Chain A
Amino acid sequence: MSRAGYLALGDQLATSAEPLIRNLVRLAPIRILLNLFGRLGLRGRGLVIFLPYAWLALFFLIPFVIVLKISFADQLIARPPYSALWELSEKGYLTIKLNLNNYRFLIDDALYWKAYLNSVKIAFVSALICLIVGYPMAYGMARADKAWRNILLMLVILPFWTSFLLRVYAWIGLLNNNGIINNALLGLGLIDQPIVMMKTDFAVYVGIVYSYLPFMILPLFTALEKMDVTLLEAAADLGCKPLKAFFTITIPLSMPGIIAGFSLVFIPALGEFVIPDLLGGTDTLMIGHVLWNEFFSNRAWPVASAVAIAMLLLVLVILYLQSRFQRAAEAP
């Protein structure tokens, strides 16, 4: 999300949460904890910055290192089903064994890069559709009057109150040959044969776009809401047609939101497993499924880890490119 968006959101949260925080700080356990952090030299700003980094180290960095470690191990029939990387002999020799074969698999077998490529394609197209569908919605929300805006914002967030899995399952009921859509069309006499929608790439796109649309709308909304509308008035005064003003003023100014929304949809869609598994056809080859196969069918935890690490590298490259774009977009 654009930094401006985050800051605005943060401000809003801070003002509404202030009384709550004041009351929380009075609680004994929290006071003791704050005291402890204080003794360690973590106060105020330092504490606020420390917490997210500690969270990241605990829940991202450490699991990542574990996965990286497993990706260099050998597959074993044991519990856990992989070998240890290092061994300290009685004489004090430390032997480290790194198995690079797991990564060689990824290069040797075309399956893996085809799966990566197909995942990138599906994620890219989904993000693009999300952008096309989400932009008008975000635009409408940002230009609606204040009272409506909050209701609309609520409506965008509302689906998250139901389990993601249930919402994907609901699509099965809609898209099936005997499903609601086909039955309605058959009943109206618009078609004679049910349209095959389930177990196709189409269903996967529907599922991904539906599930991730809010991640596109929210950053777009924050970007568009911040926009200075008088710029459009100025453009109109100077004789610029609305459509041209939209493309030369609104779009460039909402670029940070577009890029943020795009990556918020693209990156999770890349590793998506549930949606293609439930809605996709047997020939929908995505990296999430390849990883599942390595982990569960082959019990090859090391190869599965290598697949995951390779995907992370792919995401890193994309994020790097995204940050370059974003910098360009935010530059005056």
Chain B
Amino acid sequence: MTKAGFIAQLSCAVFIGLLSACGGSDEAPSAAAPAESTEATATPAPSAEDNVVNIYNWSDYIAEDTIVNFEKETGIKVQYDVFDSNEVLEAKLLAGNTGYDIVVPSAFFVARQIQAGVFQPLDRSKLPNYKNLDPEIMTILAGYDPDNQHVLPWLWGTTGVGYNVKMIKERMPDAPLGSWDMIFKPEVVSKFKDCGVATLDTPAEVFPTGLRYLGLPTGSQTEENLAQVETLTMGLRPSVKYFHSSQYINDLANGELCLVLGWSGDVFIARDRADEAKNGQEIAYFIPKEGALLWVDTMAIPKDAPHAANAYKFLDYILRPEVIAAVTNYVSYANGNLAATPLVNEKIRADPSIYPDSETKAKLFPNVVNTPEYDRLTTRAWTRIKTNQ
């Protein structure tokens, strides 16, 4: 074979490699194609067709009629893409030119993104409904976003335990429900290995939770504490079927899993899906008595948002009590809108695992932003746990 032949072949093969790699890097496949189309509209040429707002939100995270109603009322077309991991959103934001006008990162990620200069400061004069927001939630957000300059709360929830009531009872009638022992005690969790245990696939959720269970400061960024929480998580490793941050919704609903360390609202979605399917699976969720992570997902406008004016209209629309209450009713996550609470269904409002009482609330704790060095250590520890090496 000639040299040119070799090069042609090489480039062909590398191309295929690149293509498959590109396909793979996109966690949220449904978002890939629309993202491209939004880029096309990102060129600053205001025209009638330009009356759109491009939103990038989590999957399964909005009421069915939220967007339709907004479009009807304002005539602004909403292009709605979804993702399922903060990391994917952050990579897009850091690369720039996302074409999105509103993104919904978790508050814990926002601190670093603000530092990187990704978001524009919000002009509160364009948000008359700002007054509806819950001061308690805004104080938590101020921990990541000083003076609440850049982000507004979307919904908030906890990182706790979801389980299949019948399967747990069958295997362990006296299971320590209501405690992290369910997950972190090897002799307990190993009893549920056969019916499927899963945890979120991110050390940012699992490690602070483990630190709390061990009675160590959740924000400590020391190698000794990290080593302890790694050992703790290793103990549950043999019982875990998989680490994944969204797949457990389906699997919990259809009985492939019986115990998860997951996000409150996702477990409720699984519960509702099981109810709808009438498949006999009864799913429940609890906030462990030792305390749990409280996280807030936030709305922000990227600096290079092509339709910032429309973004403000959408933000203010979401800040209306009746709009966000409908979202809460649909997805079973609490919102950060004090005026909306009376409008939320009684069943959800009275559920202490969604709207915790003050005693439980006092035990919730926010996540702490890590240094890049500590991030690397936790990721490495996480890989060790997942792969056993």
Contact = CB atoms under 8 A, between A and B. Distances in A.
A293 B21 contact: no
Nearest to B11: A56
B13 interface: yes
B383 A293 contact: yes
A319 B13 contact: yes
Interface string B115-139: 1111000000000000000000000
Given A177-B256, A299-B90, A330 B1 contact: yes
Contact of B372 (A176, A282, A299, A327): A299
Contacts of B21: 271, 273, 288, 308
A264 B13 contact: yes
A199 to B, nearest CB: 5
B89 to A, nearest CB: 10
B191 interface: no
B106 interface: no
Contacts of B112: 77, 299
B10 A114 contact: no
A80 B11 CA distance: 28
A315 B25 contact: no
Contact of B243 (A282, A320, A323): A282
Given A3-B5, A277-B24, A297 B202 contact: yes
Interface string B7-24: 011110111111111011
Contact of B116 (A3, A77, A178, A297): A77
B13 A267 contact: yes
Contact of A111 (B17, B88, B383): B383
Max chain B Cβ within 10 angstroms of own Cβ: one of A3, A78, A296: A296
Contact of B379 (A273, A297, A320, A323): A297
Interface stretch (B70-78, B92-100, B209-217, B325-333): B92-100
B6 A78 contact: no
Given A296-B88, A296-B91, A297-B87, A268 B1 contact: no
A59 B19 CA distance: 11
Contacts of A268: 16-17, 19-20
Interface in A67-117: 75, 77-81, 109-111, 114
A63 B21 CA distance: 13
Nearest to B196: A177
Contact of B16 (A267, A308, A330): A267
Given A78-B117, A79-B96, A177-B256, A316 B87 contact: no
A56 B255 CA distance: 49
A50 interface: no
Interface in A220-253: none
A165 interface: yes
Contacts of A308: 21
Contacts of B5: 3, 323
B87 A281 contact: no
Interface string A265-297: 001101111100100011111001010110111
Given A273-B24, A296-B87, A312 B243 contact: no
A165 B13 contact: no
B256 A178 contact: yes
A150 interface: no
A296 B383 CA distance: 13
B379 A293 contact: yes
Contacts of A330: 1
A300 interface: yes
A272 B24 contact: yes
B88 to A, nearest CB: 6
A285 B389 contact: yes
A148 interface: no
A60 interface: yes
A263 interface: yes
Contacts of B15: 59-60
Interface string A190-222: 000000000100000000000000010000000
A35 interface: no
B296 interface: no
A60 B241 contact: no
Interface in A107-131: 109-111, 114
Interface in B322-366: none
Given A288-B24, A327-B1, A283 B387 contact: yes
A299 B94 contact: yes
A288 B26 CA distance: 12
Max chain B Cβ within 10 angstroms of own Cβ: one of A79, A111, A297: A297
Contact of A77 (B10, B13, B243, B372): B372
A118 to B, nearest CB: 9
A160 interface: no
Given A79-B118, A111-B380, 7 more contacts: A52-B8, A268-B20, A271-B20, A273-B21, A295-B25, A297-B379, A298-B376
